[in-house]
Structure 1
Amino acid sequence: MTGSDTSRVAIVTGGSGGIGRAVAEHLGGRRFDVVVHYSGNRDRAEETATAIGEAGGRAVTARADVADETEVAALFERARTAFGGVDVVVHTAGVMPLAPIADMRLDDFDRVQRTNVRGTFVVNQAAARVVRAGGSIVNFSTSVTRLQQPTYGAYAASKGAVEALTLILARELRGRDVTVNAVAPGPTATPLFLDGKPQEVIDHLSSLAPLERLGTPDDIARSVLGLVDARWINGQVVYVNGGIA
């Protein structure tokens, strides 16, 4: 499979479900050729690729540990061999184990930092080397960096690092015509977010925004598309949370 000279190509990490799947499908609907990355759930990644194909787009899947530079290099090579290059990288992949700082196991803390911080660094490093002029890199932070909710210490710390990497990379790519931004979702109805939360907690979180609901993967995906299209938004963290903070 080879892209045409006019194809625009996107890699979406974490594209097998939740926000990543919504982003991949929206990009496919915009006639991007999409590489749907997954780390463990091949079947769900294939479902995403199939959905893009059924809607008239083109997609392939690729597995990688985002914190492993050799596997990430192979992911980007998959985009090149399948479609001819890379124009957009949307890095949604991440993990979110929760516990009070006093109680969190250090191996869980290390896993969060490895996936969320090192993973962002490795993916962004590869993207910085190959994304074509007119392209975009979109990372994922979280509104918890502002909300400071208990039990989110390790996760928020990792996303603070993601924001720093995003803002610095935008400036390092001066002259390349490549934008680098981050979106920072608020409470969003994904399996990762909803897992283990009792209904009263979900109801409370739904009430925080003036719009009085949780965000949806579609809400977040539309914000990503806006950053891909907006060539004069660069080096920014965009809070996508319905007005919580």
Structure 2
Amino acid sequence: MPNLRAAAFRQSATEIGVEGLAAVATSTTAATTLAGLSFNGLDGIAATSRGLLLDAQKGFAFVVDTRAAKEFALAHWLVGGADGGRLFVRCFDAGTVIRENIAGDVLASLTTLQWNIPSKAWTGGAVMADASLNRRMTVRLAEAVAFAQIGIVGFDGQIELEALRLYGLPEHAPALLCGTPTLPVGQREFAAEVAWDLPNLAPGATSLLDVAVAGCRQGDLADAALASSTRFIELDAAAWTNSTVRVMARNISPSATFDLGPATLSVAVTKRRIP
């Protein structure tokens, strides 16, 4: 991620996310799955002029399919070249269930990884710093690790993160899961399609339909389109409640009444950029 600030969006009124990355936390959690431990955005993250200011317990991670690729290098840059942050790794099995504190699951260069019981994660034993020659970390995963979160957290205090990159060996092209239907996090755009059989609409009449859009939050930008045979049905869409978009169809014809057959209604939700 060349610049996190440029890819940041508002997940909600208090939460910020980054396209292509999962938001992660070192706080106590009861979750045990990849989906339950990956977030589209979290609070405790603030936008600055060049980066994102992360509270100590917050971070961002790549989510990688590691069934074939096992070795990665993580590089990061804090605003102004500051030292700070610690390596953060979670390991998951083929069923995307967390592998808890299993010796040998992950090894890292230039640091001893420590198991963090509350967050079910491995964290670096030392702050990443140029003087320690550990700003770039190499990570090696065990054969049984099918998926992994690999990233950075503040841990010792706030960090102002500007860039984060993950490298692999040239013979592999591991898939990144963020933004797919399997793991809809690190995602700014969400979509849904439903069939809508509008009632008979007289001139000026309206009809409402609530559409479930997972990940939608109030304040998101919403659009709707109906595959119909007339241009006189105007659509308005709004993020009505969390995970719900309300669509209103209005007959704008001054004289004609329309009774359309079932048609496909497409709804799109876009998270707001941070100005």
TM-score above 0.5, yes or no: no
TM class, shorter-chain normalised? Answer: under 0.3
TM-score (norm 2): 0.22
Greater per-residue strand proportion:
2
Q: Tell me which of the two structures has the higher relative contact order, counting C-alpha pairs closer than 8 angstroms and 6 or more residues apart.
A: 2
Q: Which has the larger radius of gyration?
A: 2
